[in-house]
Amino acid sequence: MASSSSITRQSTDLRPKKAIVIGSSTGGPKALTTIFDELNDTSVPTIFIAQHMLANFLPDFVKLLKSKFDINIQLGSDGLVVEEGVIYVAPGNVNMEIVKDDNDVLRVHLLTSDDSLTPSINILMKSVAKIFGEKTLGIILTGMGEDGLEGMRTLKQFGGHTIVQDQITAEISSMPHAIIASHLADQSLPLNEIPDAIKLWSMANE
């Protein structure tokens, strides 16, 4: 069987036509668990996640989600071909972006980083927005700081739709608030409404 890195063509059936990119920090694991609990019996589109977390905890977090829910979730690895319906979590200590290679195949690309705040939500989100354009849904969940602000700005420039977790349900609301304050949020939703918004967006973008 050809390894992921040796794939030179991407079947149009497997190639995602739309993508969701989620950024989260403090409180994110709990929020993501709630979201996937509600999406458990749903066919999900391709999702990219940047969750700020110590690098050695991320593999266990992915394993936990995989064991609890019927989802195809994995840590991104360099060169991995991006496929429809798979959830890619950015690994720690690096930044993850999605790129098109010379054969037009979509792949995960990992970048080294000197920044202590990894994986960067901005870097991931910008790369996804540039590839999927208006077929991108960007979601910023709970967290401190402003990572994701420039990502959501790029996403809006490319015609995508943006959702933030509202300040009532966010454990820390600085990241969502930064998006709202910059007039980049199309919707601000309580956590329990975000799964339905994902389903609605997915159906609207078939």
Partner 1 sequence: MKILIVDDSAFMRTILKNIILKSKYSDAELDEAVDGNDALKKFDQMQPDVMLLDIIMPGKDGIEVLKEIGSSAKAIAIISSVDQKEIIEEAKSLGARGYLVKPYDATEVIAMIDTLA
Which residues are tagged catalytic?
Answer: 25, 52, 147
**Smaller CB separation from partner 1, 85 or 190:** 190
The yes or no reply on residue 200 touching partner 1 (CB under 8 A) is yes
- The whole-angstrom separation of Cα 11 and Cα 153 is 31
**Residue 105 is encoded by which pair of tokens?**
């195949």
The yes or no reply on residue 169 touching partner 1 (CB under 8 A) is no
Supply the minimum distance, in Å, between the C-beta of residue 159 and partner 1: 8
Supply the minimum distance, in Å, between the C-beta of residue 206 and partner 1: 12
Cβ-based neighbours of 179, under 8 Å, separated by 6 or more: 140, 148, 149, 152, 162, 164, 185
CB 16 within 8 Å of CB 46? yes
If you ran DSSP here, which 8-state letter would residue 74 be given? E
Residues between 175 and 194 that touch partner 1 (CB under 8 A): 180, 183-188
Supply the minimum distance, in Å, between the C-beta of residue 149 and partner 1: 15
Q: In this chain, which of 161, 165, 169, 175 binds partner 1, going by CB under 8 A?
A: 161
The yes or no reply on residue 34 touching partner 1 (CB under 8 A) is no
Residues between 100 and 159 that touch partner 1 (CB under 8 A): 159
**Residue 17 is encoded by which pair of tokens?**
């036509």
Angle formed at CA 156 by CA 119 and CA 117, multiple of 5 degrees: 15
**Smaller CB separation from partner 1, 107 or 153:** 153
Site map (CB under 8 A) of partner 1, residues 61-90, x = contact: ------------------------------
**Smaller CB separation from partner 1, 178 or 184:** 184
**Smaller CB separation from partner 1, 104 or 196:** 196
Q: Which residue has the tokens 């989620």?
A: 22
DSSP letter string over 172-206?
S-HHHHHHHHTT--SEEE-GGGHHHHHHHHHHHT-
- The whole-angstrom separation of Cα 57 and Cα 195 is 25
Residues in contact with partner 1 by CB under 8 A are 159, 161, 164, 180, 183-188, 200-201, 204-205
